[in-house]
Each structure stands twice: as C-alpha cells, then as structure tokens.
Structure 1
Amino acid sequence: MQKPDAIVFFDLDGTLLNSQVEVLPSSIMAINKLHQNNIVAVLSTGRTADEVSGIMQKTSIDSIVGMNGQSVIYKGKKIYSNDIPLSVIKRMIDFSASKGIPLAFYSDYIRRVSAHDRATEQLYQCLHQTMPDIDSELYKKVAIQMLLLFCQNGEDQYPDHFPELQFIRNNPYCVDVFNRDGSKGNGITQLLSKLKFTDVPTYAFGDGFNDLEMFATVDHPIAMKNSVEPLKALAEFITDDNDHDGITKGLQKVGLI
C-alpha cells in the first residue's frame, strides 16, 4: 500500500459543510489538489458511511472515520469497528422506553429508529435527510456502533446507568451514544496503527465538541472561525468559517495545496 505524504481529516457539519449543508466548490477544488499531491483526505464525522455517500462521491473521498470514530473505512475497506454489546443495547432500549425517549440504531450502511414522532422528525429535518424506517430489533441482525437519543434535554440521567457508554450532544435534537473508549481520536489512532502510517503527518479541520479528541490526536489541528471556544484553544491556528472558504484558506496556509 502506497504511503501518503500526509493525511487530512475533515469534520463535516460546521466544517466541510457550509450553513446550507453543502460542500463549497472551493473546498472540492482544494480536495482534488490534495489527491494530486499524494495527500489522503478522510471524513471524520458523527455520521455513517451511508449518510455521507453523496458527499464522498462529490469530493472523491473514499475514506471515513465514521460515527465519531466507531467505524473506520480506508479506501473503501473496513479496517476497524467498535460495536456496542447486545446486552447494553437491550438495557438502553428498556431504560429509554421508560423515559419516553426514542432511539436510533446506526451501523455503516443501515439506520433505523424506534419510532416516528416529532422528536425524530426534528432531527432529520435539521439534517435534510429522509427519516429511517422503524425497527427496534435491528441490533439483533447487524452490529451497531452508535445509538441516538432523540431528546432536547434529559441525557444527564443516562451516564450513571450506563458507565460503559459516553453521551455527546451534537445538535439541539439528539445525543450520540457509543462505547466509552470510542472517539474520533481513537478512530484516527486505529487507522494510523493498522495501516502503519504512524509516521505520516496528520492534519484535522473541525468546529465542535466531538472534535476535541481528534485535535488532541493529530499533529496539526485547525479550527474553523465558527468553532466552539474549547476547540479553538487546542488549534494550531484558526481559519475562516465554513461559509467563507475556511477549508481552502487553511490548506493553503499549511502548504498542502
């Protein structure tokens, strides 16, 4: 396997995607230049490979650290999966049902929800996505790497009951749930280790709380202007925001394009 000259990890929402949830033409051109320069571009996102297949096709990116690091696909090949144990999922279903909080079940290419209601509608409308079908028993058929809690508050009651999991709110409508040892940082570490790329320079662009571990893992963390303040504090520098060519300007500043 050819070793790249560098690897760049891109968060999606608020980073590679602009306020209209689209990839700027300037960013697509910049990523094409990365490919030409033997630099690998990798999506690093809370979303699944299925959710971002259109973005991957548009940008010619074929690698992803998905579901906040729970699944790693490199050049189309799955190289790491951090599955949630079946017993834990069953406990989560029972506990959430008692609280009236719907769930979603996520694997790389299949997503299902426990109910269709206002709580689930709000999230998928926000993401500009079609709501998944209902199937509360998906976990019995395929390995699940991430769950979603559809709630605008109330997640603080979960950690004491599920110490083996971590809970990260990425938007007003849901909370991402995955194994406690999972993060974008862990997913990146797994990628570099399994491919023997630990000596390859790494860069990352991000804007949110779920990018903190990623920034602590890569050599050169770059925050968007619209980032949360704790992430800016970890950044090597701050580029422009996701609506004003922040990706292109950042890549130019570090000399990758």
Structure 2
Amino acid sequence: MAKLLFSDIDGTLINTDLEVTPKTRDAIRRQIINGNVFIPVSARMPQAVMTAAGQITKNCPMIAYNGALVLDEMGRPISSRFMKASEAAEICSYIEKKNNQTTWNVYSGYDWFYSPGNNAELVKKEEQIVQVKATPSSIAEVKKLKGVHKVLIMGNPEQLDQEQKDLTAVYPDLVLVKSAPNLLEIVVNGVSKGEGIKELAEEFNVKLADCWAFGDNYNDVSMLETVGHPFLMGNAPAELKKQFVNVTSDNNHDGIAQVLEKLS
C-alpha cells in the first residue's frame, strides 16, 4: 500500500540556503522509487513550490496557497477555492491606508501581484527566495481579477499581529495565519493544509493513517493534526513543540531524512 509523504517547504524541506540537502533529496527519491508519493505543501504559489520540489522530482501533486489550490501530478486542479476579488481589494485598501510599511500581495492562479508603492523591498526579498517574479499592480487591477487564491501581507511582526486581529474581526469568512513572523497569509474559510491533505488522500485512496507530514510553523498545524504520522522540525517554535510528540532534527540537519530512513 502506497504511503503519502507531505512536506512543508520553507523551514522544512529546504535549509536556510534555500536548498534541499543531498541527504534529504535522496531519502525522498528512495521513497518515490519504493512507490510512495511525495507531496509538497506550502503557502507558496505553484511555480514557487516547484522551485523547491523541482530539486527532487520534475512532477508531483502539490498543495499550494495553504490548501486553496490542490493540483495532481499533471498540474490539473483537484480543488480551487477563491475569495472574491472585491474582498481582496478591500484588504489591500485597508493596508494602503495604514501606511505603516506593511505591503500587500495578491495571488490568483499562476499570477502574483503586489503594491509597488510601499516597502517593495520586502517583495524583492520574497522574489529572491521563491525565484518567481511578481507583477506591480494596483487595487483597481485587483478588482478586475476573477478570484483570488491568497492575499499575503508582509511587514513588521508587531504590526502584522495587530492587522491580523483587525481583519479577523471584519472578515469572519477568511482564515488569517502567519507562516513566518513577517508574513500574514489570508485565504477563504475552510481552506487549510489539512483539508488539502484530505482531498489528496481521497484522490489516491490512501488512509490518513498511512500519511506522513513534516512542518515547522503555525500554518502547518492543521496538516500535522490530520495525518497519522506528524513530525515537527527541530527549528519549530517552542510553543508548537509542546503540542507534538514527534520532533525531528531541524531543516539544516536533514530532519526529514532522519525519519524517512527508518520508514520501510
């Protein structure tokens, strides 16, 4: 019976040099050869998922945008959940009015748009990490989109904490979760990495008990709580380590490989 192996990317699959280490790469490839399925799971857009996963394999299913877009190994959508473009535009307008050095990004399908007017160097840094180029845009252009998979707000951690509280109160139909201290991810209600895992487990006819998952941050909690074999990375926040029994080494010391090498 095939096993499904789910892995977050940033802080988990890749090290601080943004690379999949040879040991982790080879451990995952051995699992693929053995008939198991490797599935990257990320807040990233599809092209940025493959920046990392492509270091291991050329084709794989994936969960992008924290679960808002689930694709099979051929890139065909299994599920796709949008928020209204008008709602995304309202959030972008809120951020611009704050004028506090936080900046908005909007993702729709394979497109990434951002506000060029405020703290755009944060966007440039993200471009370097994911190796995908963003398109400068405006709120007027955002309103014209057919739908939005994700809004990403970048900025100072304390300001993002306040904006998370403010926006959660105004938009009960949205899920707001931090994937890093300076990144606030926004998707529609019902979207999570855990839900994406359930959809792919059903697609592959594999029991959740036969699913493994690796993660390092708060947006990974739903994923880790969904599978039969959750593993938290050694570089995860101390608060999360209290929640999960299985803690492997950090992303710079082949935490994933340590677990997979013991998997028959």
Both proteins in one fold, TM over 0.5: yes
Q: Superposed, which structure 2 residues align to 1:1-257 within 5 Å?
A: 5-60=2-57, 61-76=59-74, 77-100=76-99, 101-118=102-119, 120-125=120-125, 128=129, 129=131, 132-136=134-138, 137-138=141-142, 140-152=144-156, 153=159, 154-155=162-163, 156-198=165-207, 201-253=210-262, 255-256=263-264
Task: Give the superposition deviation at 1:190.
Answer: 2.0
Task: Give the superposition deviation at 1:213.
Answer: 0.6
Task: Give the superposition deviation at 1:26.
Answer: 0.8
For 2:109 and 2:134, locate their aligned partners in 1 and report how far apart those are by CA, in whole Å: 14
TM-score if structure 2 supplies the norm length? 0.86
Percentage of matched positions with identical amino acids: 27
CA shift digits 1:112-159 (9 cap, x unpaired): 1022542x3125415534651212324523432100113311312211
RMSD of equivalent CA atoms = 2.1
**Alignment check: 8 A CA contact 1:105 1:146 kept:** yes
Task: Give the superposition deviation at 1:91.
Answer: 2.4
For 2:208 and 2:215, locate their aligned partners in 1 and report how far apart those are by CA, in whole Å: 22
Task: Give the superposition deviation at 1:231.
Answer: 3.1
Task: Give the superposition deviation at 1:200.
Answer: 6.6
TM-score if structure 1 supplies the norm length? 0.89
For residues 7 and 195 of structure 1, do their structure 2 counterparts lie closer, same or farther at Cα, with a shift above 3 Å needed? Answer: closer
For 2:179 and 2:124, locate their aligned partners in 1 and report how far apart those are by CA, in whole Å: 13
Gaps (5+ residues) in structure 2? none
Gaps (5+ residues) in structure 1? none
Aligned residues: 251
| Secondary structure, aligned partner of 1:247 | helix
The aligned amino acid for 1:121 is E
**Alignment check: 8 A CA contact 1:121 1:131 kept:** no
Task: Give the superposition deviation at 1:206.
Answer: 0.8
**Alignment check: 8 A CA contact 1:6 1:200 kept:** no
For residues 27 and 139 of structure 1, do their structure 2 counterparts lie closer, same or farther at Cα, with a shift above 3 Å needed? Answer: farther
For residues 141 and 88 of structure 1, do their structure 2 counterparts lie closer, same or farther at Cα, with a shift above 3 Å needed? Answer: closer
Task: Give the superposition deviation at 1:14.
Answer: 0.9
For residues 122 and 91 of structure 1, do their structure 2 counterparts lie closer, same or farther at Cα, with a shift above 3 Å needed? Answer: closer
Task: Give the superposition deviation at 1:184.
Answer: 0.5
Instruction: Write 1 or 2 for the structure with the bigger share of helix.
Output: 2
For residues 234 and 251 of structure 1, do their structure 2 counterparts lie closer, same or farther at Cα, with a shift above 3 Å needed? Answer: farther
Q: Which moved more, 1:187-196 or 1:37-46?
A: 187-196
The aligned amino acid for 1:6 is K
For 2:227 and 2:44, locate their aligned partners in 1 and report how far apart those are by CA, in whole Å: 20
